[in-house]
Structure 1
Amino acid sequence: MEAFLVSTGIVALAEIGDKTQLLAFLLAAKFRRPLPIVLGILVATVANHAFAAAVGGWISAALGPDLLRWVLGGAFLAMAAWTLVPDNLDEGDAKLAHYGVFMTTVVAFFLAEMGDKTQIATVALAARYDAMLAVVAGTTLGMMLANVPAVYLGARVAAAVPLLLVHGIAAAVFAVLGVATLLGAGARFGF
């Protein structure tokens, strides 16, 4: 349960103001069909985060407990710093295919999420917790919590959310996880 809750909270906070949330705003403004956009985000996120969690599981198995603790602690601290850097929607992420709303959303979201901080966080969380399904479910829920309001409420939500505060909270959570991991808080998980 801890893996699910931590994964949900971290990704929900990290996603606010992220380029994939900006992509959700863009898709909603262009297509004005929220349901296929939300379903496309869900499918793309499950696929992307399942892949990321599998990589995290592989990393956990490949590294010894001591090395894993240092790698994960450093990764969480790096995520804390990265969270404080505002995202912009890249030109390539904004190009929309002509395959319908659902497929455009799936492809655009999957590609935009590659190498994104929430995907990297999913890798680290899956390596940290030996609970791939809980991590994927949690990170997916976190993405949906941040992006569904973006699709349905658009600019009104963006204007009402203090991004600096949200990014600061997300960075603090990543930093606490990083320090706790470096100090051995993951000992019960074998690292």
Structure 2
Amino acid sequence: MEAFLSSTFAVAVAEIGDKTQLLAFILATRFKKPLVICLGIFAATILNHAAAAWVGQWIADWLTGDMGRYVLSASFAAVAIWMLIPDKVEAEESRFYRYGPFAATFVLFFLAEIGDKTQVATVLLAAMYDNYWAVIIGSTVGMMLANVPVVMMGKLSADKLPIKWVHRFSACLFLVFAVLTLTHG
């Protein structure tokens, strides 16, 4: 349960103000089909985060002992610093728009998520917790918690949040993961 809750919370907080959340808003305003956009985000996230969790499990098997703990802790600390750098997304026309709202959302969201903070966080969480499915489900729930309100209510929900403070809080959360990794090895 800890892996699920940690993954849900970490990804939900990390996603606020992230480029994929901005992309979700752009797609929602472009297509005006919120349910279809949400389904595309869900499908892309499941696939992307399943791959990320697999990589995290592989890293955990490969890096063991103190060296693994130190690398994982340093990685969480690096993500904490990365959280303080704001994301931007361009609202340009995409060639994927012609395939409709689901396909465009699926492809664009999947591609935008590659190497994104939340994907890297999923890799690290899967390396930290030996519970592949809990991390995938938790990170997907976190992604949906952050993106569904933006899609359903438009930019209103994101504009009302103090993004700078959300990013600082998220950075602190990843620092906590770094410390916990070091102290619980």
Task: State the TM-score, normalizing by the size of structure 2.
Answer: 0.96
Q: CA deviation at 1:133?
A: 0.2
Distance in 2 separating the partners of 1:152 and 1:30: 13
Q: What's the counterpart of residue 114 of structure 2? A: 114
The answer to whether the 8 A contact 1:49-1:136 is kept is yes
Is the CA contact 2:150–2:157 (under 8 Å) kept in the aligned structure 1? yes
Could you give the per-residue CA deviations for residues 16-35 of structure 1, whole angstroms, max 9, x where no partner exists? 00000000000011000001
The equivalent of 1:10 in structure 2 is: 10
Q: Which residue number in structure 1 is paired with residue 159 of structure 2?
A: 159
Gaps of 5+ in 2: none
Q: Distance in 2 between matches of 1:144 and 1:32?
A: 18
For residue 88 of structure 1, give the secondary structure of its aligned residue in structure 2.
coil
Give the number of aligned pairs: 184
The alpha-carbon deviation at position 168 of structure 1 amounts to: 1.1
- Normalising by structure 1, we get a TM-score of 0.93
1:67 Cα deviation after fit: 1.3
Does 1:95 find its partner at 2:91? Answer: no
| One-letter amino acid matched to 1:166 | V
Change in CA separation of 1:155 and 1:122 when aligned onto 2, cut-off 3 Å: same
Q: How does 1:62-73 map onto structure 2 within 5 Å?
A: 62-73=62-73
Whether the 8 Å CA contact 2:26–2:91 is kept in 1: the answer is no
- Percent sequence identity over aligned pairs: 54
Matches within 5 A, 1:133-172: 133-172=133-172
The residue matched to 1:80 in structure 2 has which SS? helix
Is the CA contact (8 Å cut-off) linking 2:49 and 2:140 kept in structure 1? yes
8 Å Cα contact 2:122-2:135 kept in structure 1: yes
* Shift, 1:90, TM fit: 4.5
Question: Does the 8 Å CA contact 1:96/1:108 hold for their aligned counterparts?
Answer: no
Tell me how far apart the structure 1 counterparts of residues 154 and 82 of structure 2 sit (CA, whole Å): 25
Contact 2:21–2:147 (8 Å) recurs in 1 = yes
Shift of 1:96: 4.7
Q: Alpha carbons of 1:124 and 1:148: their partners in 2 closer, same or farther (altered >3 Å)?
A: same
**Secondary structure of the residue that 1:161 maps to in structure 2?**
coil
Aligned-residue offset at 1:164: 1.1
Q: Any gaps of 5 or more consecutive residues in structure 1?
A: none
Aligned counterparts, 1:36-47, within 5 A: 36-47=36-47
* Deviation at residue 46 of structure 1 after TM alignment: 0.2
| Deviation sequence 1:67-113 (CA, Å, 0-9, x none) | 11011100100010001110001578x62511111011000000000
Alignment CA distance shift 1:49-1:178 (3 Å): same
The one-letter code matched in structure 2 to 1:105 is T
Instruction: Name the CA distance, whole Å, in 1 between partners of 2:167 and 2:8.
Output: 15
Q: CA deviation at 1:158?
A: 1.8
